[in-house]
Chain A
């Protein structure tokens, strides 16, 4: 890339650092931005800078927010007795898109994984028990991923929260909507069978 103008190679190498972006895509994006209007380019760079300077963690739920507490924590119409526990802030975003959940969230900041050095102290778990104790939570919905670490974390939290007199539930396992039964793997099907309900 020695033959390219240095600002262009600089942008390409920055873009390449992003997840899922390889060298070809990085070059395509860089050339696109070069041809885009000055306003669009400025809007993009401002958005990136604002992200770093204005987004922080909510002091209650540890989701990402501009104002503290976040809009969900400070919304009085949200049901405070219902608390959905997720691993990452992006999971809040995923559940919010359903527009069918009216409770609040608690973001752990990851999943328990001693092999990666992530123990109880590295996650917002003490903060979770504190909230459950003080905020009148009636039900904690554990919405961690259905993989090994997600399962361990969910089971651990159930152990931890049950003595506090709160109802602890786990998201159901099921078949993807619109999917084909015969394409589902055995484990998903087995779990879906176990979680069946009467019609």
Chain B
């Protein structure tokens, strides 16, 4: 898919922007704090309904103004889609309204209209950060590709919250109710386990291939799913997952009653990134970790394109820094054929690295054609 126009009003440091990006690779150059990340954040907001970094949604609204608006027209295989998000200040917080093709829609209906794969510098923590980050990555990636997964995950999360509250209940734990929650968790949780196992397997193959193309086949990169509970002999069929989860929930019962917390199930899963079979988080260099994360993102892109039948948008924030000149060039040429990519950088890469990219400069919330290279 391809963004044909983007309109921002009082979003972050953009007072008003109307921008019609061309297809292919668009590179946005600018000094620190000019609005490069903000531009990608706006596009990502239209895909996921959420900011990729704001702790408080009211931060999205330009200081001193009451209402922010992000709107885009996107060409998709099913025709043009218009999507917009309005963020209104309400007291200390903010309220969001989603509009799709002129109609106000609920969050769940808004999702899936525009697909995007995003890289931002904080994604580097995927490799070495806590498991929760990797679960969030899996959930976001799978939810975009598979609506049933999104619903199952939402339902599962709700039941875990109820189960935890039950385990902590001052009035004591009603055992039949605990068994009821476990029954529901096993049913929905095994669906999540299967979906994640399938996804990680495909992600690993695709990422390994990309990684090999960039930096050579050895040492080989792979991704391993570490489900909770571990599946016997790695059998991730629905029946095996259900049986394993039921057994694990049963076995964890005494410990859960003592610790007053739900201890097994996909909310405790992890994913390991491995180089030559060894965990990258422990010994990988900064550049190796960055290369691995980029390979994973490329694989996410390929799988989402396959699942939805068209290439998603690719949003890459500050992706080139820390890569040496060769890796920069390899990376840029690997995205050259994407339908539409937005890349930000503080320094303009050299002309061979830029290739046929369209180059813009971002200065203080304005986007201008750049003198650097070809512009759209």
Give every chain A residue within 8 A of B165 (Cβ-Cβ).
113-115
The answer on a CB contact under 8 Å between A156 and B148 is no
Q: Are A155 and B184 in contact (CB under 8 A)?
A: yes
The smallest C-beta distance from A55 to any residue of chain B, in angstroms, reads 30
Mark B138-180 against chain A: 1 for CB-CB distance below 8 A, else 0.
Answer: 0000000001100100010011011101101101001011011
Question: In whole Å, how far is B289's beta carbon from the nearest beta carbon of chain A?
Answer: 37
Q: Judge whether B184 and A151 touch: CB under 8 Å.
A: yes
Instruction: Tell yes or no: B181 within 8 A of A by CB.
Output: yes
Given contacts A115-B165, A121-B171, are A156 and B176 in contact (CB under 8 A)? Answer: yes
Interface contact tally, CB-CB below 8 A: 50
User: Which secondary structure characterizes the binding site on chain B?
Assistant: helix
Given contacts A114-B169, A121-B171, contact A186 B162 (CB under 8 A): no
Closest to B171 in A: A119
Of the candidates A113, A120, A149, A185, the one whose C-beta lies within 8 Å of that of B174 is A120
A120 to chain B, nearest CB (A): 5
Q: Bound state CA distance, A31 and B181, in angstroms?
A: 51
User: Which chain A residues in 122-163 approach chain B with CB under 8 Å?
Assistant: 148-149, 151-152, 155-156, 159-160
Q: Does B176 contact A119, Cβ atoms closer than 8 Å?
A: no
Least Cβ–Cβ distance between A77 and chain B, in angstroms: 35
Cβ contacts under 8 Å, A190 to chain B: 148
Partner of B183, one of A115, A119, A155: A155
A185: B residues at CB distance < 8 A: 108
Interface residues on A, range: 10 to 19
Q: Is the CB of B180 within 8 A of A159?
A: yes
Q: Give the total of B residues in contact with A, Cβ under 8 Å.
A: 23
Contact B174 A152 (CB under 8 A): no
Using CB atoms, name the residue of chain B closest to A158.
Answer: B180
CB distance from B315 to the nearest CB of A (A): 27
Using CB atoms, name the residue of chain A closest to B146. A186
A12 within 8 A of B: no
Q: Hey, which chain A residues are within 8 Å of B162, CB to CB?
A: 113-115, 148-149, 152
Alpha-carbon distance A185/B169, docked complex (angstroms):
35
Kindly state the separation between the CA atoms of A69 and B226 in the bound complex, as whole angstroms: 58
**Contact pick for B179, options A115, A149, A159, CB 8 Å:** A159
Closest to A113 in B: B162
Whether B147 pairs with A186 at a CB distance below 8 angstroms is yes
- Residues on B with beta carbons closer than 8 Å to the beta carbon of A115: 161-162, 165
B interface vs A, CB < 8 Å? 108, 147-148, 151, 155, 158-159, 161-163, 165-166, 168-169, 171, 174, 176-177, 179-181, 183-184
- A residues in contact (CB < 8 Å) with B: 112-115, 119-121, 148-149, 151-152, 155-156, 159-160, 185-187, 190
13 contacting pairs across A/B (C-beta < 8 A): A113-B162, A114-B162, A114-B163, A114-B166, A119-B166, A120-B174, A120-B177, A148-B162, A152-B162, A155-B180, A155-B184, A156-B177, A185-B108
